[in-house]
Amino acid sequence: MIDYDVRASDDSSKSERPFDPAEHPHRRRNALTGEWVLVSPHRMQRPWQGQTEHAPPQTAPRYDPSCYLCPGNARAGRLTNPAYKHTFVFTNDFAALQSDTPNGVMQRGRFFLAQAETGVCRVICFSPRHDLTLARMDPPDIRQVVDTWAEQIEELGRDPQIGYVQLFENRGAVMGSSNPHPHGQVWATRRLPTEPSKEDREQRAYFTRRNAPLLVDYLAAELAAAERVVVENDAWVALVPYWAIWPFETLVLPRRHVLHLPELAPLERDALADLLKRLLIRYDNLFETSFPYSMGWHGQPTAGDDYAHWQLHAHFFPPLLRSATVKKFMVGYEMLATPQRDITAEQAAQRLRALPELHYSKRR
């Protein structure tokens, strides 16, 4: 395990100027995954000659008779949604995982290994209203979503066949979301998926060395640095992580050590609803559009109990870069070598922080 030294390395024989990460290309290490991102702040000066068109205005009805998520409507296979009032959870009609898959491993020689994977895929409707998003829901209604998330972790976590529960939301057509009705998903699997597995490894290694959870120490360092924090309240902080890859990526962290969502006290759940709303309004206000993103929660695995190194957190990965329609693509060098960004995490945080907390649709 490498312990990174904080001093700037003195290689000044090569250059007159000292290394300045606000100006010079550099790479940053993601403490949570052990991976790196290339940051190129000098490129922000180059002229933009790509797409600049505006997004079409978004006007959705409160109820859409053709939406398979609206209350009372028909879904696949003769199923009908109830007249739900807050949140509504159902098993995905086209689930990627099934709970009755027989357990087993098939290996043929050195290269051909398959393991059976069991699991459950569910859809969570956040609201009966077809036209809302989390950003435009009222905090008491967002609180219902927080409670539903926690209930799903608790319920699925009791199943001995389930080892990890992943909650996520794909928001917006640009992220491949097929339906604008506000909804998220929960996929629960027997085994630990790839991203939580990297985070488990790095958090465990840090805890072994320092006897403290990595993200608890990281939040303390971020609050001391005060460069990348976007929104905060009594219980929560949202910040652009030092190692962010997506232009306006954020990490949402509780102020205290929490292993997973079901542990949150009622006041912490209210505070989370408040923080999410304030963060998501900023996102929508940035380019005056319903901001697309993939978001999801990471917390301790549900099988086993050796997880004191874990800290609950949410990631928001929004793809937009310069306007409502100009998106960052992960192509070329990023697919083949290392993710890269131009705007620094500090500049992104500064821009998000400066935005108003009144949704742009209410200013007109």
Which residues have a Cβ under 8 Å from the Cβ of 318 and sit 6 or more positions away? Answer: 246, 247, 248, 249, 283, 291, 292, 293
Q: Residue 304 region, left (φ>0) first, then alpha (ψ -120 to 50), else beta?
A: left
Quick one: 122 or 298, whose CB is closer to Zn ion? Answer: 298
Total interface residues for Zn ion by CB under 5 A: 2
Which CB atom, from 228 or from 298, has the smaller least distance to Zn ion? 298
Residue 219, number of CB atoms within 10 A of its CB: 22
Please identify, using beta-carbon distances, which residue of 199 and 284 lies nearer to Zn ion: 199
Active-site option among 183, 298, 313, 315:
183
Write down the residue that tokens 């996102």 correspond to. Answer: 283
Two tokens, residue 222:
């971020």
Q: How far apart are CA 361 and CA 364, in angstroms?
A: 6
Site string for Zn ion, 271-300 (x = CB under 5 A): ---------------------------x--
**Residues contacting residue 221 through CB under 8 Å, at least 6 positions apart:** none
Query: What part of residues 100-159 is at the interface with Zn ion (CB under 5 A)?
Result: none
- Closer to Zn ion by CB, 287 or 316: give it: 316
Q: Which of residues 192-231 bind Zn ion (CB under 5 A)?
A: 199
Q: Tell me if 183 contacts Zn ion by CB under 5 A.
A: no
Give the single-character DSSP code of 21. T
Which residue's Cβ lies closest to Zn ion?
Answer: 298
- Do residues 146 and 140 lie in contact, with contact meaning Cβ atoms separated by under 8 Å? no
- Contacting Zn ion within 295-314 (CB under 5 A): 298
Distances (CA, A) of 263 to 13, 163, 317, 326, 336: 54, 18, 25, 39, 40
Alpha-carbon distance of 255 to 316, in angstroms, equals: 18
Q: Which is nearer to Zn ion, 183 or 298 (CB)?
A: 298
Q: In the complex, what is the shortest distance from the CB of residue 177 to Zn ion, in angstroms, rounded to a whole number?
A: 21
Q: How far is the CB of 213 from Zn ion (least distance, A)?
A: 13
Shortest distance, position 245 Cβ to Zn ion, whole Å: 13
Q: Give the containing element (helix H, strand E) for 211.
A: none
CB of 247 or CB of 299, closer to Zn ion: 299
Spatial distance between the Cα atoms of 343 and 312, rounded to a whole number of angstroms:
27
- Which 3 state secondary structure label does DSSP give 189? strand
CB of 316 to Zn ion, least distance (A): 11
Question: Least Å distance between CB 91 and Zn ion?
Answer: 25
For residue 183, indicate whether it is catalytic: yes
CB of 311 to Zn ion, least distance (A): 9
Task: List residues near Zn ion by CB under 5 A.
Answer: 199, 298
Q: Which are the catalytic amino acids?
A: 183
